[in-house]
């Protein structure tokens, strides 16, 4: 008997403090984030918008599509020197039903910000 490959995505509330820091500035700081674990990929922390400094983000025209999560819009990050870090964050504003918990949350590319970390 063979089993169809199932693409696993797990989303759990994260009880730790999660932060994003770039250029010495805290961009996001929450104790109400969620952790998304997806088969074969590193875990990703998602931040509620209320805990993200949205004044530092500017919506990009760039979008991506995941067959398991849906369409993601992206955001540039404004830095202190008025430069932009292109497409530093993304959000699923209308995710597929099975990942509805991340609706309107934001995640950041670790390669485009200085630090994303979890503390106690």
Q: What is the DSSP string of 53-111?
A: -GGGEEEEEEEEEETTTEEEEEEEEE-TTS-EEEEEEEEBSS--GGGGGGBT-EEE-TT
Q: Which class is domain 9-119?
A: mainly beta
The sheet with strand 70-78 has its strands ordered as 57-66, 70-78, 84-91, 106-108
Instruction: Walk along the chain (120 residues) and give the pLDDT tens digit of each residue.
Output: 455 567 889 999 999 999 999 999 999 999 999 999 998 899 999 999 999 999 999 999 999 999 999 999 999 999 988 789 999 999 999 999 999 999 989 999 999 999 999 997
Q: Please tell me the pTM assigned to this model.
A: 0.92
């Amino acid at each position: 008997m063979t089993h169809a490959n199932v693409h696993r995505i797990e989303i759990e509330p994260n009880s730790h403090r999660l932060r994003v820091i770039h250029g010495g500035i805290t961009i996001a700081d929450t104790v109400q984030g969620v952790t998304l674990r997806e088969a074969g990929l590193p875990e990703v922390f998602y931040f509620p918008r209320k805990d993200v400094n949205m004044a530092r983000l500017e919506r990009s025209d760039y979008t991506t599509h995941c067959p398991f999560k849906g369409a993601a819009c992206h955001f540039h990050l404004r830095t202190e020197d008025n430069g932009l870090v292109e497409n530093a964050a993304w959000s699923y504003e209308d995710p597929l039903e099975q990942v509805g918990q991340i609706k309107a949350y934001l995640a950041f590319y670790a390669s485009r910000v200085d630090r994303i970390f979890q503390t106690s």
